[in-house]
Structure 1
Amino acid sequence: MRKSNVLILNLFFSISCFYHPLWKPYFFPETDQFSKLQIQFASAIFLIQPRIYSLSKTSGVEGETIIIDGINFSPQASENAVNFSGSVQATIENATNTSLTIRIPYGAKSGPITIQNRQGSSQSFDTFTVYRYFISFSVGANTELYSLNMNTGAIVANSSSPYALTSNSASFSPNGKFAYSGGFGISYISSYAVNLENGILSSLNANAGATTMDPVFFAFHPTNRFLYVSSFSGASITAFSFDQNTGILTKINDYSQSCFCSLNHLAITPDGKFLYVNGNGGTEPIIGYSVDQNTGALSNLAGSPFGTGVPNMEALLVDSTSNYLYSVASAGVIIGRQIDSFTGNLTAIPGSPFTGTTGNFRAVMHPSGKYFYTVNILGATLAKHDISTNNGSISSANSILNFGSNLQFVTLDPTGTYGFVSNIASNNFYQFKVDPTTGAPSLMNSGNPYPASATPSVPQPFRLAQ
């Protein structure tokens, strides 16, 4: 009996050392779900250190509230300290033994979250990314910049805005650290560095890469490794590799098309396999390429170009599933095509072309892939269309808003919460909010536009990880 007790005690002490929070990291690094379960088990038994098990979300903005779940927290909020990277302490709004509701502090940086109380301290398993959101657009030889409060939707002009920089409707890299622009009458693109704290652009390289004539439209590959630029008059696409740390572009190649058309809007499928471009003129084609995932090189699809017979196509958009492609035309229609997931070839979605609004000119896809928004130049209309998840068909316009006088561009922030429309005739722009349940847009700022210092280009929302 005594021997069995000794064996049991030895086994207990061995397991205790093995699972104890002080020794646990050496046996189970916190890198996978199994390790997290081991940590939870150890924390529950030994009741020593506070432990964070999960976060209600892994990214957010300053001023937003999130919930931390874990164990060994103090139910007295003042007895806990929660710090973000950058040694910035959060406000704790509610506390229990297993949950803390905190508000992300101003100045917080991206990284793990730390919890500390009199029982000890520990960090979250997951990295929390803190974002700041901005809107930028060019106005003649200047650039205007606004900060966007994602909690309230309020936009505030930067104290330096407008500032002297000809950014020519710059397109931002997915990480927001760099921006690129081209223009008519040139055969090169320019690059800009973005200040991570305030979003201001500064010139990086006035001649960052050579293209053919009139590089106007840009598209980044979902891996953030490649940039593609269509040349309006050059009837070609230039591919670049993109260094996410320096913003430096390295040219891969020019890919010309022997079509009697000018190239404009680009779209890449979210799975990164295919790239498409609108061609205005000739058979009014949509031209398709396959994308080499390793090198970024393009190859013509076997069935390309895909004629549409619909003139003056503008926006080109792909849904979030990489199954459907859409374009709008000033004739008041929306073209829908199904994408073959193996070949990239396009076939008409039943019912296409779909009825749009008179003169619908530009469009934007909601990140969810459920809604499609168009703006109408002549009728000054913002219209929402629903996208069928069954077959990709487009509904007739609903939730129509009438405002402004010459609506040229429509964009959404990366989360799809707020949208922006430029009003060319009156040198201003509008803001709308998207209903999270129905997708219906509603004008903000009491329906009034925000003034621009001159004719605004495309309002470009972007975000920067802090």
Structure 2
Amino acid sequence: MKRLYMLFFSALAFTTSQAQNKFNLLVGTYTNTCQSNGIYVYEFDANSGNFKLKNSSENVLSPSYLSASADNKFIYAVNENGTQSTVSAFGYNSKSGKLNFLNKNVSLGADPCHLINDSQNVIVANYSGGSIAVFKKKADGSITEVQQLVQHEGKGPNAARQEKAHVHMVVFSPDKKFVLSNDLGMDKVFIYKYNSASKNEILTLKGSVDVKAGSGPRHLTFSKDGKFVYLVQELDGTLTTFSYDKTGSLKLIAETSILAKDFKGGTGAAAIKISPDGKFLYVTDRVDANNISVYKILKNGSIELVEQQSTLGKGPRDFTIDPTGNYLLVGHQYTNNIVVFKRDKLTGKLKDTGKRIELCSPVGLIFTKI
């Protein structure tokens, strides 16, 4: 009898672990280049790397980047459409993958390209507008009109790309006391104090740090312990390491390049993410490079290159790592697919599984619980 119980509980534990390793993969797309419904929801099995389409939105205009609420009940999306850009809120049924449109409001800045949210606010980076827009959340998950607009003013030495401010990202500090924002046009990272409950002064400027002139800061990520920040610069492929302390101060401690020594051609560094265990850093590069660099993160926060390999597509705009750390998925804006790589958790190295999710112009990828 005892053995039967053990077998039963072992089987139950196995079944539970199998179920726990299934997640929803949400993909935001551009809808102006090929046929797309907007946001797609796939069930992804982190044990096998298999996937299946569960649902999609209907007639949502270019929801390129997405952000899920902490309670998994709402999804927020930017709608990139030049000066007519908006930000949308959706109810989200994670079991069915169904998205229920709630409302949208103008972003008050052209081409929003990134956003974050917490229980009170949705904060958006307007790329062409060079501004940060803050929306309040209503009880039903919908958003108010913009309650605060923070406008950046300035430019950089690259006349073609830095003719004015270009806010490319907003990210919460680990303790949610600050919001960091990269400005590609100004070669600066701004640090704002975050006053979540304020009505219209949610963000107040604490300071900023300069990076190399003409480098164009794009995306950053915090180390797992919150003591370091890794920033990739789009225009020249610089990868910068900062130390970070709880007062919201960044201090530059190292710089390297994601470009191979013999590389010649166009570069356009894109996304930067850390593995769930905090041990490896991944960075994508576009234009002619179309590759991903893998770095090991050492205990002192420094990094060392593990490998660099092709993403097997063109325009690797964004990628994501499943919550178990088993797989890394790269979305290709121009070859219209997502390439599924298997991750070696010990070395950080990537191996092509041969699995491809085919869809129009994938741009932003996030995982949520089911």
TM-score band w.r.t. shorter chain: 0.5 to 0.7
Candidates 217, 230, 242, aligned match of 1:263: 217
Distance 1:177 1:413 in 2: 21
Superposed displacement of residue 369, structure 1? 2.8
Q: Which residue of 1 aligns with 2:313?
A: 358
2:76–2:87 contact (8 Å) kept in structure 1: no
Q: Does 1:383 align with 2:339?
A: yes
Q: Does 1:205 align with 2:152?
A: no
Superposed displacement of residue 265, structure 1? 1.3
Pick closer, same or farther for the CA change 1:328–1:130 going to 2, 3 Å. closer
Pick closer, same or farther for the CA change 1:332–1:206 going to 2, 3 Å. closer
Distance 1:131 1:307 in 2: 37
Deviations 1:398-425 (A, max 9, x none): 3212232xx141222443x5xxxxxxxx
Q: Which residue of 2 aligns with 1:3?
A: none
Pick closer, same or farther for the CA change 1:154–1:187 going to 2, 3 Å. closer
Superposed displacement of residue 312, structure 1? 1.9
Q: Does 1:312 align with 2:268?
A: yes
Superposed displacement of residue 210, structure 1? 7.6
2:105–2:144 contact (8 Å) kept in structure 1: no
Superposed displacement of residue 353, structure 1? 0.3
Superposed displacement of residue 382, structure 1? 1.1
Candidates 230, 233, 245, aligned match of 1:276: 230
Pick closer, same or farther for the CA change 1:396–1:365 going to 2, 3 Å. same
User: When the two structures are superposed, what TM-score results if normalisation uses the length of structure 2?
Assistant: 0.67
Match of 2:139, as an amino acid? L
Highest relative contact order (Cα 8 Å, sep 6+), 1 or 2? 2
1:328–1:335 contact (8 Å) kept in structure 2: yes
Deviations 1:41-76 (A, max 9, x none): xxxxxxxxxxxxxxx9xxxxxxxxxxxxxxxxxxxx
Pick closer, same or farther for the CA change 1:244–1:371 going to 2, 3 Å. farther
Superposed displacement of residue 374, structure 1? 0.9
Candidates 250, 257, 267, aligned match of 2:204: 250
Q: Which runs of 5+ in 1 are unaligned?
A: 1-55, 57-128, 418-466
Candidates 331, 334, 347, aligned match of 2:304: 347
Alignment of 1:73-222 (within 5 A): 132-140=73-81, 141=84, 142-158=86-102, 161-166=103-108, 168-169=112-113, 171-173=115-117, 175-184=118-127, 186=129, 188-207=131-150, 213-222=165-174
Match of 1:307, as an amino acid? S
Distance 1:328 1:131 in 2: 28
Distance 2:345 2:310 in 1: 18
Q: Which runs of 5+ in 2 are unaligned?
A: 1-15, 17-69, 156-164, 261-266
For the residue of structure 2 that corresponds to 1:353, the secondary structure is strand
2:322–2:367 contact (8 Å) kept in structure 1: no
How many percent identity over aligned positions? 12
User: When the two structures are superposed, what TM-score results if normalisation uses the length of structure 1?
Assistant: 0.54
Distance 2:258 2:71 in 1: 44
Distance 2:327 2:139 in 1: 31
Q: Which has the larger radius of gyration?
A: 1
Distance 1:244 1:353 in 2: 40
Superposed displacement of residue 381, structure 1? 0.9
Match of 2:74, as an amino acid? Y
- Of Structure 1 and Structure 2, the greater helix share is in 1
Distance 2:317 2:348 in 1: 20
1:170–1:179 contact (8 Å) kept in structure 2: no
Superposed displacement of residue 329, structure 1? 1.8
1:276–1:289 contact (8 Å) kept in structure 2: yes
Pick closer, same or farther for the CA change 1:250–1:341 going to 2, 3 Å. farther
Distance 1:250 1:320 in 2: 31
2:72–2:94 contact (8 Å) kept in structure 1: no
Pick closer, same or farther for the CA change 1:369–1:166 going to 2, 3 Å. farther
Candidates 279, 288, 299, aligned match of 2:251: 299
Distance 1:130 1:184 in 2: 28
Match of 1:289, as an amino acid? F
